[in-house]
Amino acid sequence: MSTITLSLAELESLIIRALTTNRTSARNAAQVAAAIVTSEADGLKGHGASRVPFYAAQANSGKVDGNATPECHEVGTAARRIDAKQGFSYPAMNLAVEQLSDLAATTGIAAASIANSHHAGAAGQPVERLARAGLVGLFFANSPEAIAPWGGNKALFGTDPIAFAAPRRNEPPLVIDMSLSRVARGKIMVAAQQGEPIPEGWALDADGNPTTDAKAAMAGTMVPMGDAKGAQLVLMVELFAAALTGSLFGYESSSFFEAEGPAPRTGQFLIALDPDRFSGGAFADRLETLVDAILGQEGTRIPGARRFALRAAAEQDGITLPSALHDEISAMAG
């Protein structure tokens, strides 16, 4: 497969051009591009550059409002409700992080719901930012139908990511970021784009049979991690991200991968906590004690370590994309 390597700045500039050419404001395009490039650098390619053609096509069709400005409403002393206005999620999530960083530092705990939103991207990014501000972050998001309730055969829930991050002393944050399907659906999307098979056990086809065909998997359902227990966690996240934000459930939402149709109107929910207030100042020492115990066992690593190592390498060496994807984005950029 032919490839091309770009610096982070070059890729970010290319994505901004592709989006602004397709009915997206410069301010929104910059925020979307920054999130995509970080995902690509972190090795999370399902949330990286492969999303650009879908984003640009949906902005051009009006399925996502590329010019939307999110609105923040104060609904409690430390509670905010943010309306993404059927635009990209990243400006709304950035606004939520800004609000909660200030609020939690004063109140000890703060939360924000985000309604009428879009694809959340890498769920670890907003909580990482909270952790770098000294806060513990917890994030929930829902997405269009991909997982059936346990025992059923029709998708109702999205792959619904959940993320957690905590600050560490003199180290990058601890970041836990996972979708509740056995693998992220973005991995299957990338395999379908590249005509590659997927491992058995990741997904079922439209008839409910196990499949290694990525395209058949995209038309079928995802297998929840942890089987029945995972399906219950998906239900929990769906309630946090959709019911608690007043957004659409996965089965009511439209695809993130198709240009036409109504706005997906998915939701996100973000919680920030001041760890020192709740622990009496003991949190940092307690966390490092546990980290030392984990790393004391051979073969272990701390969640988030791999993404930060890949990010550092990408900052130095750039990002390698399939030439076909680069050409597709370049054509959209005009």
All domains in the chain, ordered by first residue = 1-61+305-334 (1.10.1530.10), 73-181+224-303 (3.30.1370.60)
CA–CA dist 133, 137 (Å, integer):
10
Q: Report pLDDT for 181.
A: 86
Q: Report pLDDT for 185.
A: 78
Q: Which residues of the chain have pLDDT under 50?
A: none
pTM tops 0.85, yes or no? yes
CA quadruple 266, 89, 128, 122: dihedral sign? positive
CA–CA dist 263, 269 (Å, integer):
19
CA–CA dist 62, 24 (Å, integer):
10
